[in-house]
Amino acid sequence: MTDHAALLSVAREAVAKATGIIRSMTSFSVAAKGDRDMVTDVDLAVEDAVREFLARETPEIGILGEERGHQGDENLWWALDPVDGTANFARGIPLCGVSLGLVDGLKSTVAAISLPFLDVTYTAAEGQGAYAGEERLQASKATKLSDAIVSIGDFAVGEGAEVKNRVRMALLAELGGRVQRVRFLGSAAIDLAWVAHGKLDASVILANKPWDTMAGVLLVREAGGVVVDTDGGDHTVRSAATIAVGAGLRDEIVAAIARVHG
């Protein structure tokens, strides 16, 4: 049986180490790694340091990092984004984070997200609640879209982006005319952590890269929110999208997405 409490302690220490690196590297280079996509020296330094730490502390657990790929066990593994929101970070925008989730089978069971420039760390373990520091989190209880602040994930880049972004534009029009406000934060880790924290009522990310999402998904669920795929089915690591929402708005958000896809 997985010792979630012990692994949560490891995850906390891992993101604390990452945060220290991010804060200490005041100068860095930026390189292109694809169409309108980038990587910095900091991304690479953080991932390498966290990989080394996790390999030492939990050698039996695999790891998938955004920059270095998957190594080790494919059933129980850490999902790491060393700097989620690299475009923000590279421009000096403080909306970025380190995201680390433990994936067991199809779902995450341990999570730690550090926001280095906002001085907060979010944590969760399956069945034990979600926290910002020592504060226990509660997802939004809103029941009307007109009261909701909803974040939308980044637009697609790379191959097939034009087709994918037609759906995002339609979603923006659909929600923009009905919700209180729409936000683009540029970091899936923050989107999901803030749904868990009740700062956002929903987050619609029409993608599901495990390093971006798996930690935040557990935070939302442990805070009493729900996370689903575009069809309203339960979110897993294999889902096509990541829709996180307070339980009272689940049906309305899923229906809005269905109208866009329809």
- Binding residues for Mg(2+), by number, are 66, 81, 84, 212
DSSP state of 234: B
Rounded CA separation 157/243 (Å): 20
Name the nearest CA neighbour of 249 among 138, 137, 142: 142
Please enumerate, by residue number, every residue annotated as part of a binding site. 66, 81, 84, 212
> Which string of DSSP letters, residue by residue, matches 9-42?
HHHHHHHHHHHHHHHH-----EEEEETTEEEEHH
Per the structure block, which two tokens stand in for 250?
Answer: 């689940």
Rounded CA separation 39/52 (Å): 20
Rounded CA separation 202/188 (Å): 12
3-state secondary structure of 89: helix
User: DSSP 3-state helix, strand, coil percentages of the chain (rounded to 5)?
Assistant: 40, 25, 35
Rounded CA separation 108/169 (Å): 30
Name the nearest CA neighbour of 218 among 246, 196, 201, 240: 196
- Asked if 76 and 102 count as a contact pair (C-beta separation under 8 A), the reply is yes
Q: First vs last Cα of the chain: how many Å apart?
A: 43
